[in-house]
Chains A and B, each alone.
Chain A
Amino acid sequence: MAVEFLNQLLQVLASPYLLSLSALGVLLGIVFGCLPGISSTMSLAILLPVTYGMSPEAAMVFLMAVFSASVYGGSISAILINIPGTPGSIVTQLEGYPLARKGKAGEALFYSLFASTVGGFLGLVVLMLVAPLIASAAMHFRSPEFAMATVFGLTMLAYSTPGSTFRGVMSGAIGLLCGMVGFDVMTDVPRFDFGTAALQNGVELVPVTIGLFGLAEVMRNIDGASLAQRMTVTLGRLLPSVADINRLWPAMLRGSAIGIGVGAIPAAGSAIAVAVSYAQEQRLSPRKKEFGTGVPEGIAGPEASNNACVGGALIPMMTLGIPGDTMTAVLMGALLIQGLRPGPQLFADNAGFVAAVYVGLFVALVLTFIFGLLLVRQFVRLLQTPSHVLLVLITLLCIVGSFAIRNNMTDVYVMLAFGIIGYVMAALAIPVAPLAFGLILGPLIEENVRRSLVVSDGSWMIFFERPLALALLLLSLVALLYPMLSTTLWPAIRRRKADNLKTEA
């Protein structure tokens, strides 16, 4: 893999086209990331259509740049105007904004940029080391293991919105149903098409994601659209002392380790990673009581964690075809459009492409650091952009982007329908992300379950007889039952024990 990585790196560095694509992706990623209301997922969803005409390698170089840079971009608004640009930068504001109010906004931004770069690189290194091992192990998977791994992934993805696992499972089930629309791949029988030709080709993933994560988000925010947030802090000096930076290494390394670990768990996501990292820094810091007043470790740890999550979340997506979060779900859509299905076979058949993904992330991290240092004052100025201008332009991008997939108006109407569905779901407190995951994983689950049943002559015991499939099935059951046990059964047992102790006393 090291040779392929170097080959691809040289190709990208020698190609002005690929380099400028990466630079453009980084610029757009930082800009979108720093604007409140535009999440990394939304940035990826609305920019995905731009990659239709590109080669798979060029598309991934561009999208990895948007992905990685938008994660850093979120911290700019968190530090300067106390509003996180992305969910992953939610705790950065806790220390970043107070530091900025002390006149050290420039330093806070540097801590965030430096920690993001360190976390991003460590995440990439672990991705490069671990992904081939998992992919190689997954090569021994057969249909029952794949079916159960996908079921486990989908179960975990139902956790993507804490506190609503049941609704997450139901939302995932709706996604599975949407994935079944159109001709069945094994028998060519049309399903859920209601006799219309438009639905016989199935529901395309990209208009669905643009609708759910783009248009629905615009609909939710459009009522509060107003003039730009006024910045009340001054930037000050940009570079802290070397001693100040060196003091942050332990926090950055801890944050990176947390980010990689949490990111690799499907659905855990960067918001959880940064919260864990911040709590950890607060616990270990000798300046515990100063947290909340602008402690640099409270920026560096979570920011390293936030960017390390990128590499972590790519591990299950690249090796098993299970997206780690909503952003990797959109990236997976990009791969599917290019005719590439992530999974162990991708490593065996397209090692060059896998290396292009790594290189795309590597170059994006370097360019994010360079642009973050050189253009910080320009990015700050962008925060003055009125939100209504952005929302209207994003709406237009949603329309054009969904049309551009197949030059087909049906996709525009599908996007509109899922925009409305996403809005209604959010209003009813139903998580939307599992729907997208269900749509991606549905065909995989169905194909592998049916293949397994064909092999076993119709016996469902095949899922219990193979140890790995059984283990994954049990893990899925534990994941499904855990919320119920933790809220009802365990407290009841604890109460009974306490009552018994009281009676004995």
Chain B
Amino acid sequence: MKQAESHVDPKTDPRNRIAAGAFFAVWAVIGWISMLSNVQIAGVDFGLDPGPGLMPTIVLTIVSAGSLSLMAVGLAGLMKGQLPPIPWRSVARQMIMPLLLVGSLLGYVPLIRWIGFLAANALFASAWMIILSAADLRREPVRALLPILLGTAIGVGMIHFVFIYWIGVPLR
């Protein structure tokens, strides 16, 4: 995403400022909802202690004010000048692999319970290594296949040895 906006410094790009402000605003909104709906914080007298609501209120105020100011500066910048268009296609292309990784991890975690830790690891590792070296596999199949096989066998074996046998993590 950074590369896509390389012609404008991301930190001074008004659109980035608005997006960053919105990111912080999401935290602030979630925080305020949780704080304001917490009856134990508002309705109890804690004596000399200022109570568990003091720091969250201070920090949420900072986050709220900061996010609003970021968005305001961003909006002002947006209204001021012409900006190069965002190459959405390139941005989306760069996000495919990370999203695929997160999606596969969400599937991998329950997979451990179904087929076992070792098999799930081997499947995950080999599948991803094949995906990532697809171009190399087409160009130089032998040179690309060897690291996949060795990487899966040695890597998964080492992780299994260290975590399951050495540390005793209860994943089977």
* Residues of chain A having any CB pair with chain B under 8 Å: 49-50, 52-53, 163-164, 166-167, 169-170, 173-174, 176-177, 180, 184, 186-187, 189-194, 218-220, 222-223, 225-227, 385-386, 388-389, 391-393, 395-397, 399-401, 403-404, 407, 409, 412-413, 416, 419-420, 423-430, 442, 445-446, 449-450, 453-454, 457-458
Contact = CB atoms under 8 A, between A and B. Distances in A.
Interface residues of B, number: 69
Contact of B167 (A52, A187, A385): A52
B138 interface: no
B54 A429 contact: no
B59 interface: yes
A419 B102 contact: yes
B51 interface: yes
Interface in B86-114: 94, 96-98, 101-102, 105-106, 108-109
For the residues of A in contact with B, the DSSP-based class is helix
A189 B169 contact: no
B159 A170 contact: no
Interface string B7-22: 0001100001001100
B31 interface: yes
Task: Give 3 closest A-B pairs by Cβ, nearest first.
Answer: A389-B151, A388-B132, A184-B52
Given A396-B155, A409-B109, A427 B52 contact: no
Nearest to B19: A428
**Best-buried of B19, B23, B54, B168 by chain A (most CB within 10 Å):** B23
Contacts of B108: 399
A393 B63 contact: no
Given A52-B167, A225-B132, A400-B169, A187 B16 contact: no
B66 interface: yes
Interface in B111-125: 121, 124-125
B166 to A, nearest CB: 8
B27 A425 contact: no
Contacts of B106: 416
B63 A400 contact: no
14 contacts: A49-B167, A170-B63, A170-B67, A173-B62, A187-B49, A192-B35, A222-B97, A227-B136, A386-B151, A395-B105, A400-B159, A407-B170, A430-B20, A454-B50
A466 B56 CA distance: 25
B151 A457 contact: no
Given A173-B66, A227-B136, A386 B56 contact: no
A395 B125 CA distance: 9
Contacts of B136: 226-227
A392 B156 CA distance: 10
B144 A174 contact: no
Contacts of B166: 50, 53
**Best-buried of A53, A187, A449 by chain B (most CB within 10 Å):** A187
Interface in B43-62: 44, 46, 48-52, 54-56, 59-60, 62
Nearest to B125: A392
B52 A396 contact: no
A425 B23 contact: yes
**Best-buried of A53, A163, A167, A389 by chain B (most CB within 10 Å):** A389
A426 to B, nearest CB: 8
Given A180-B55, A389-B151, A458-B50, A218 B163 contact: no
Contact of B23 (A53, A164, A424): A424
A191 B52 contact: yes
Given A428-B16, A450-B49, A392 B151 contact: yes
Given A194-B34, A416-B106, A428-B19, A187 B46 contact: yes
B98 A423 contact: yes
Given A180-B56, A389-B151, A428-B20, A227 B125 contact: no
Given A173-B66, A177-B56, A389-B147, A190 B40 contact: yes
**Best-buried of A393, A412, A442, A457 by chain B (most CB within 10 Å):** A393
B167 A174 contact: no
Contact of A396 (B11, B48, B125): B125
A12 to B, nearest CB: 20
A177 B27 contact: yes
A458 B96 CA distance: 53
Contacts of B155: 389, 392-393, 396
Contact of B55 (A176, A223, A416): A176
A407 B169 contact: yes
B41 interface: yes
A170 B24 CA distance: 8
A393 B27 contact: no
A204 to B, nearest CB: 15
B148 interface: yes
A429 B34 contact: no
B29 interface: no
Nearest to B4: A427
A177 B151 contact: no
Given A174-B27, A219-B98, A219-B101, 7 more contacts: A50-B166, A176-B55, A222-B98, A227-B136, A388-B133, A392-B155, A454-B48
